């Protein structure tokens, strides 16, 4: 026998050698050594006799070549000789290091790791449940220096539940996007491919990260950097229950957590706003915010969503209430207290969100609510929706969430910090309007709720021919389809948001009970020099991604902007080309021809004067009413 050979592998069985009985399983262990800056990293390749699990055997894409490091043969299931196992039993890499002993971790094979101190400062502590993009994921309950993630190597992971997507907390260490195709197995025995990729932990886009930290940990100590972690979702078959998922064979893809995103049944979205940036605020210490929001659908129960998007540190909400508004900052009745997991307040980790417990509270359709929350502080920066077109209120010192009198609220706000959603019990689901400043209601009358999605919501409430869907306005002033305005991390003055493509997961797929998406965006891309070809490619990508999530997608044509200083004839020519593609390209389930609704027949490159706000780019109240009034409700 050659040196190092394993009996029974790669040679004929010798005469008289005992044949393995079928019920016997032999686990063969091959030790592979990789040298990195941080030292030698040993990994085991486990191969169990008996072949691939039957549920994956019929999918040729599920079996990839094994990599030398950290790869478990797909035929071995989650553990040697067994079936799928919980992810934590597969942890084989140390990503988080102790700042006092930085050489004990080696995330990337070159000695670098994440700082336990930085993670704790962000609120990402061992065992903590983090809600990101609607998915509840548990940060590994491991001490610094202990294995805390699994390198993707074809392992079968036990994960159960029914929902719209599998959510993975991941990062890559390949220096570029890395991943591959695994397999989802359902309890009915069916399987489906699962394409999972992870951006690199040091070079991936900040716009889509879940959290970014301020340092790298190396054997030489802490270095300034922006290591980042991502939550990536993979769509699931509607109505089926997940039994397990097989990770792809991609050892530079690190998986920290996985869960089924299971939206709670019996809810519809009634109001929502996108976080467009992370500006400096206040600073607010021991202050109460009382925000005014306008509902679409009503219901007998309510829950609220708060997002600490883009943040580097946690934010603490000490108490929160909800009330129907009478006028100004005054409620009709004593505000009702909200709770979070049974507690009066909640700390929201960096990049995560909090959803209040369901509250029996009658939410009138098409009405104003007062959402009050106390910030013990200090809060020096916050995720904000800048263009609220609504006056809200800030108190003096103290917790004034339960106040009936508006006397404490002496300062007004024109933005919506932290609050991103109001859900109501029951209802048929929601429609999301994804757009820019025109959808955001720029140039509409403040406080009058005359954005075109408001008009659409009022029409739905006033009829019975189609379900009375909630309407969620995810317009962001200045937003683009293809490029980010806000850089995706850190305190910045620009609050025009990350691109529509980058916010699609958070602002559409993770929204409550969304069934239809309306895409009305692109004029900012064109005015910034983007070609029609590139923009239509981006719009097609939006539609394709939404279709893969099972959504109905409507495309709206881009309005004329002739007369605006940034909209010369060359830009209008590109706009005409994009609109021709929208009308005839077949990317959408239906088309809303908003261009035809508001253009001047005599000068089709311009908005009709009666609909123009005066800047030749944004419709005024009459133009927005025409847009919202033109939607064929049957298309929703």
Are 283 and 249 part of one and the same domain?
no
Euclidean distance between CA atoms 163 and 485, whole angstroms = 32
Euclidean distance between CA atoms 442 and 462, whole angstroms = 25
3-class SS of residue 367: coil
Are 444 and 412 part of one and the same domain?
no
Q: Give me the pLDDT at residue 74, please.
A: 38
Euclidean distance between CA atoms 414 and 450, whole angstroms = 16
For 544-556, letters b (16+ CB in 10 Å) and e give ebbeebebbbbbb
Euclidean distance between CA atoms 476 and 437, whole angstroms = 6
The dihedrals phi and psi of 247, each to the nearest 5 degrees, come to: -70, 150
Give a yes or no: residue 2 inside a domain: no
Are 333 and 372 part of one and the same domain?
yes
Euclidean distance between CA atoms 215 and 206, whole angstroms = 15
Give a yes or no: residue 327 inside a domain: yes
Give a yes or no: residue 13 inside a domain: no
3-class SS of residue 309: coil
Q: Give me the pLDDT at residue 67, please.
A: 29
Are 315 and 166 part of one and the same domain?
no
Give a yes or no: residue 623 inside a domain: yes
Are 36 and 103 part of one and the same domain?
yes
Q: Give me the pLDDT at residue 95, please.
A: 98
C-alpha to C-alpha distances, 491 to 309, 474, 583, nearest whole angstrom = 12, 22, 40
Are 257 and 299 part of one and the same domain?
no
Biggest CA-to-CA distance, the chain: 97
- Among 401, 419, 437, where does a domain finish? 419
Are 547 and 615 part of one and the same domain?
yes
The dihedrals phi and psi of 338, each to the nearest 5 degrees, come to: -95, 160
Residue with tokens 């600490």: 308
Give the DSSP letter of residue 12.
P
- Among 419, 454, 477, where does a domain finish? 419
Euclidean distance between CA atoms 422 and 414, whole angstroms = 19
Tell me which residue range forms the domain holding 628: 428-636
Q: Give me the pLDDT at residue 22, please.
A: 32
3-class SS of residue 17: coil
Give a yes or no: residue 17 inside a domain: no
The dihedrals phi and psi of 513, each to the nearest 5 degrees, come to: 55, 35
Q: What is the CA 443 to chain-centroid distance, rounded?
A: 29
End-to-end alpha-carbon separation of the chain, Å?
71
CATH number at residue 482: 3.40.50.1110
For 591-613, letters b (16+ CB in 10 Å) and e give bbebbebbbbeeeebbbbeebbb
Contact 210, 230 (CB under 8 A): yes
As for how many domains the chain has, the answer is 3
Radius of gyration of the chain (CA): 27
User: Hey, what are 230's tokens?
Assistant: 């991502």
Give a yes or no: residue 76 inside a domain: yes
Contact 301, 338 (CB under 8 A): no
Are 526 and 579 part of one and the same domain?
yes
In 37-176 the beta strands, taken as DSSP E runs, fall at: 39-48, 96-97, 114-115, 129-132, 135-138, 150-153, 156-161, 165-172
Task: List the alpha helices (DSSP H) in 341-449.
Answer: 437-440
Are 203 and 325 part of one and the same domain?
no
Give a yes or no: residue 59 inside a domain: yes
Give a yes or no: residue 21 inside a domain: no
Contact 490, 278 (CB under 8 A): yes
The dihedrals phi and psi of 460, each to the nearest 5 degrees, come to: -60, -40
Q: Give me the pLDDT at residue 77, please.
A: 52
Half-sphere exposure of 77 (CA within 13 A, CB side): 19
The dihedrals phi and psi of 25, each to the nearest 5 degrees, come to: -115, 135
Contact 408, 398 (CB under 8 A): yes
User: Hey, what are 40's tokens?
Assistant: 């030698």
Are 77 and 129 part of one and the same domain?
yes
Angle, helices 569-584/532-548, rounded to nearest 10 degrees? 30
Q: Give me the pLDDT at residue 103, please.
A: 86
The dihedrals phi and psi of 321, each to the nearest 5 degrees, come to: -140, 165
Are 465 and 394 part of one and the same domain?
no
Are 333 and 352 part of one and the same domain?
yes
Find, among 106, 105, 125, the residue nearest to 117 by Cα: 125
- Among 419, 447, 477, where does a domain finish? 419
The rounded average pLDDT for each run of 10 residues, N- to C-terminus, in the chain (636 residues) is: 30 33 30 30 28 29 29 43 89 96 92 97 98 97 97 98 97 98 98 98 97 95 95 96 98 98 94 98 97 98 98 98 98 98 98 98 98 97 98 98 98 98 97 98 98 98 97 98 97 98 98 98 98 98 97 98 97 98 94 98 98 98 98 98
């Amino acid at each position: 026998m050659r040196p190092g050979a394993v009996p029974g592998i790669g040679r004929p069985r010798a005469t008289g050698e005992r044949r393995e009985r079928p019920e016997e399983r032999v686990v063969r262990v091959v030790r592979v050594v990789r040298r990195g800056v941080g030292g030698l990293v040993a990994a085991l390749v486990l191969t169990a006799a008996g072949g691939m699990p039957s549920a994956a055997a019929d999918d040729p894409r599920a079996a990839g070549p094994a990599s030398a490091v950290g790869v478990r043969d797909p035929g071995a299931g989650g553990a040697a000789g067994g079936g799928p196992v919980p992810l934590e039993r597969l942890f084989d890499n140390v990503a988080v290091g102790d700042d006092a002993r930085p050489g004990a971790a080696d995330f990337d094979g070159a000695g670098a790791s994440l700082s336990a101190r930085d993670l704790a400062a962000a609120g990402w502590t061992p065992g903590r449940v983090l809600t990101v993009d609607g998915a509840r994921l548990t940060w590994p309950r491991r001490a610094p220096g202990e294995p805390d993630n699994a390198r993707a190597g074809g392992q079968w992971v036990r994960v159960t539940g029914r929902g719209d997507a599998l959510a993975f907390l991941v990062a890559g260490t390949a220096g570029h996007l890395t991943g591959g195709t695994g397999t989802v197995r359902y309890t009915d025995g069916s399987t489906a491919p699962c394409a999972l990729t992870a951006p690199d932990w040091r070079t991936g886009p900040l716009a889509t990260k879940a959290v970014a930290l301020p340092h790298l940990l190396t054997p030489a100590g802490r270095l300034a950097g922006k290591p980042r972690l991502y939550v990536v979702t993979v769509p699931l078959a509607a109505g089926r229950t997940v039994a397990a998922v097989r990770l792809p064979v991609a050892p530079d893809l690190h998986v920290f957590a996985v869960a089924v995103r299971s939206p709670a049944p019996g809810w519809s979205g009634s109001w929502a706003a996108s976080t467009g940036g992370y500006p400096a605020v206040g600073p607010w210490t021991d202050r109460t915010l009382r925000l005014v929001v306008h509902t679409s659908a009503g219901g007998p129960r309510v829950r609220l969503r708060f997002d600490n998007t883009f943040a580097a540190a946690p934010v603490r909400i000490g108490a929160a209430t909800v009330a129907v508004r009478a006028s100004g900052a005054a409620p009709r009745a004593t505000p009702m207290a909200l709770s979070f997991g049974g507690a009066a307040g909640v700390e929201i980790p960096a990049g995560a969100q909090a959803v209040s417990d369901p509250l029996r509270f009658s939410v009138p359709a098409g009405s104003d609510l007062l959402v009050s929350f106390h910030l013990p502080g200090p809060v020096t920066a916050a995720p904000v929706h800048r263009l609220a077109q609504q006056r809200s209120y800030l108190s003096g010192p103290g917790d004034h969430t339960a106040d009936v009198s508006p006397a404490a609220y002496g300062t007004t706000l024109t933005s919506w910090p932290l609050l991103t959603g109001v859900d109501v019990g029951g209802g048929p689901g929601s429609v999301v309007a994804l757009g820019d400043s025109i959808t955001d209601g720029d140039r509409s009358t403040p406080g009058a709720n005359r954005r075109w999605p408001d008009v659409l919501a009022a029409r739905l409430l006033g009829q019975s021919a189609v379900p009375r869907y909630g309407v969620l306005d995810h317009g962001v002033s200045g937003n683009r389809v293809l490029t980010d305005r806000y850089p995706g991390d850190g305190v910045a003055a620009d609050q025009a948001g990350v691109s529509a493509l980058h916010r699609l997961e958070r602002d559409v797929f993770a929204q409550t009970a969304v069934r239809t998406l309306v895409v009305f965006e692109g004029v900012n891309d064109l005015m910034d020099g983007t070609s029609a070809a590139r923009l239509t490619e981006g719009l097609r990508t939006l539609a394709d991604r939404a279709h893969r999530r099972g959504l109905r997608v409507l495309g709206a044509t881009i309005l004329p902007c002739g007369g605006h200083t940034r909209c010369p004839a060359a830009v209008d020519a590109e706009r005409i080309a994009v609109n021709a593609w929208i009308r005839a390209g077949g990317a959408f389930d239906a088309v809303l021809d908003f261009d035809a609704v508001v253009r001047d027949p005599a000068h089709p490159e311009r908005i009709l004067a009666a609909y123009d706000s005066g800047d030749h780019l944004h419709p005024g109240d009459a133009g927005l009413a025409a847009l919202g009034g033109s939607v064929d409700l049957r298309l929703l």
